[in-house]
Amino acid sequence: MKKADTVTFKVDPNLLEILQAMPNRSEFIRSAILNALNHVCPLCSGAGVLSPAQKTCWDKFAEHHEIKKCAETDQIQLLCNVDSN
């Protein structure tokens, strides 16, 4: 089995203090990263910005789809406007 790699990153003093108080901060950080990766935007891959090619694809997709906020959950939904008949 390959040995796990080590990744380091900078944090501000407040976050460092919180992380140092965690009983198993490595496991917490791994779990938080994996959770965040499961919720990455499928269009921008988490960048927050669409590339020109992604924008072109989105514009074509948006011709028959719309973004609406769900009245029950207050969450954003993608709705298809194509008649299924």
- Provide the whole-model pTM: 0.56
Rounded CA gap, 75 and 56, in Å?
Answer: 25
Does 7 fall in a domain? no
Give residue-wise pLDDT tens across range 11-21. Answer: 999 999 999 99
Residue 36 lies in a domain: yes
Q: Give the Å distances, CA to CA, from 8 to 11, 23, 29, 40.
A: 10, 19, 11, 21
What span, in angstroms and rounded, lies between the C-alpha atoms of 28 and 80? 38
What is the distance of C-alpha 63 from the center of its chain? 24
Range of the domain at 54: 13-80
Tell whether 69 is covered by a domain. yes
Residue 66 lies in a domain: yes
Q: 3 in a domain, yes or no? A: no
User: 65 is written with which tokens?
Assistant: 């789809």
Give the angle 23-16-7 at the CA atoms, nearest 5°: 80
Question: Residue 1 domain-assigned?
Answer: no
Residue 70 lies in a domain: yes
Number of compact structural domains in the chain: 1
In a domain, 57, yes or no: yes
pLDDT digits (tens, 9 = 90+) for 38-83: 888 877 878 888 889 989 998 999 999 998 888 999 988 889 988 7
pLDDT of residue 1: 79
Amino acid identity for residue 27 in this structure: E
The confidence score (pLDDT) of residue 38 equals 84
CA end-to-end distance (rounded Å), the chain: 53
